[in-house]
Structure 1
């Protein structure tokens, strides 16, 4: 089975082989013995994902508390933290993509740094649109829960065609964002930043694609456990799932802000 995802983590070679020891039987034939105590499991991946989520929420709450001063106004001191968290989180992702065996250390660091970024951007958006954060959080977790149940009970099955369509759509969205970012340097505002019906429709489409990526993440966790990958891949896959959830949350913020405007 060809396992691919938009998530750079799952493109690692570590997702293509299990950790095994080769010995030889009495006839001199090679026999691979897999250490089941040091291999990835679904429960282990879920537990690691929950730990990362708690770390992310904890650092988010810390920055949220720092963001508002005594009179309830947004403190400018959070912006260096927010930018630093985003940059550090991105660097952590790059390192983990090439060195997945460091995931037990990199994944918690990513969760904390990304929580700092999320806390900052959430505080900023809350000052502009009161109540938007709770709406975005609710939308994210409800979407994730629904996708998990649909996958768990086999209502949605990840086939090769399903995987190909989602990856292609994700790459197209990434291309649009990059082009829009480049155009902004020339003073050109792309349609994705305004509040037109086309822009709102695009945001809804992006949320749908982000949600579909959750099915790929769940499937890759399951396939990784079946392939008996190394134990550190539980942290690796949990970190990948956090990336998708953060993306989904940010897109909910973007959509809700457009609807408010």
Structure 2
């Protein structure tokens, strides 16, 4: 099932479109030697493995958290970091081959951004950052465990619904930003602060978007699983790590806003 995450969907290594490796004729003696030799590991064959993805993802999150600490103390970095982070995301998405330095740089800049934003939210709503961090870890862990045990899987029908919901949410977010920037809606959260039967729209959307982010993680895990089974090149573990960072950052920011609206 194709992922909506452009870090995966535009990469042939994760969608089954990677070209097959050329076949080289082997002599009978060579075949016997290969048969007697121990099985090669993914690292020895230059293929992606789950261990590679875990290590690269952990490294990126270490960088992200380290720079988030810097952004926390310098909130004015939020806007420039957001713009630079978006630019780096586009570069990494459209590059034919993953670039470890650029992916690590993206994690660093994105760390500055979420650190700065978190600092602003924490100053107004004390304790909200801890809530968002714990919730993000829980959603990620539960989704991963359920996927690992085969309890949740990506399907064509669910993915179509997911894409429609994502487009609708993006349109709502764009309209909301325009209303806030132009001063038509002067509330800090814009339309999200409007209520339906006394419940802020932001809280309702928060639950739905959390489910969307969780399903996005399922799609990411599915693409990584397919890449490992297909024997994709080992350097694609960097693309996998990049894709997971993008999804988790999105999930964290949505949960941060959700808890802030609840406090508000």
* TM-score range relative to shorter protein: 0.7 to 0.9
In the other structure, the counterpart of 2:221 is 218
* Cα distance change, pair 41–130 in 1 and its aligned pair in 2 (3 A): same
Unaligned runs of 5+ in 2: 27-41
In the other structure, the counterpart of 2:113 is 117
Partner Cα separation in structure 2 for residue 20 and residue 105 of structure 1: 27
Tell whether the 8 Å contact from 2:179 to 2:190 is kept in structure 1 after alignment. no
Match of 2:52 among 44, 47, 61: 44
Of 177-186 and 237-246, the range deviating more from structure 2: 177-186
Q: Deviations over 1:88-107 (max 9, x none)?
A: 11111111111141331221
Q: Deviations over 1:192-249 (max 9, x none)?
A: 4315313321122111211111111111111111122222211111111111111111
In the other structure, the counterpart of 2:211 is 208
* Cα distance change, pair 19–109 in 1 and its aligned pair in 2 (3 A): farther
* Cα distance change, pair 88–167 in 1 and its aligned pair in 2 (3 A): same
Of 40-49 and 187-196, the range deviating more from structure 2: 187-196
1:78-157 matched pairs, under 5 angstroms = 78-79=75-76, 81-157=77-153
Partner Cα separation in structure 1 for residue 105 and residue 142 of structure 2: 28
Tell whether the 8 Å contact from 2:43 to 2:234 is kept in structure 1 after alignment. no
Match of 1:255 among 250, 254, 258: 258
* Cα distance change, pair 117–163 in 1 and its aligned pair in 2 (3 A): same
Tell whether the 8 Å contact from 1:19 to 1:229 is kept in structure 2 after alignment. no
User: TM-score, normalised to structure 2's length?
Assistant: 0.83
Partner Cα separation in structure 2 for residue 253 and residue 24 of structure 1: 54
* Cα distance change, pair 165–18 in 1 and its aligned pair in 2 (3 A): same
Unaligned runs of 5+ in 1: 27-33, 68-77
1:182-193 matched pairs, under 5 angstroms = 182-189=178-185, 192-193=191-192
In the other structure, the counterpart of 2:193 is 194
- Structure 1 vs Structure 2 CA RMSD: 2.2
In the other structure, the counterpart of 2:172 is 176
Tell whether the 8 Å contact from 1:19 to 1:228 is kept in structure 2 after alignment. no
Tell whether the 8 Å contact from 1:36 to 1:228 is kept in structure 2 after alignment. no
What secondary structure does 1:229 align onto?
A: coil
Per the TM alignment, residue 23 of structure 1 is displaced from its structure 2 partner at its CA by 4.2
Tell whether the 8 Å contact from 2:11 to 2:96 is kept in structure 1 after alignment. no
* Cα distance change, pair 175–102 in 1 and its aligned pair in 2 (3 A): same
What secondary structure does 1:102 align onto?
A: coil
User: TM-score, normalised to structure 1's length?
Assistant: 0.84
Q: Deviations over 1:90-138 (max 9, x none)?
A: 1111111111413312211111000000110011111001111101100
Per the TM alignment, residue 181 of structure 1 is displaced from its structure 2 partner at its CA by 2.3
What secondary structure does 1:101 align onto?
A: coil
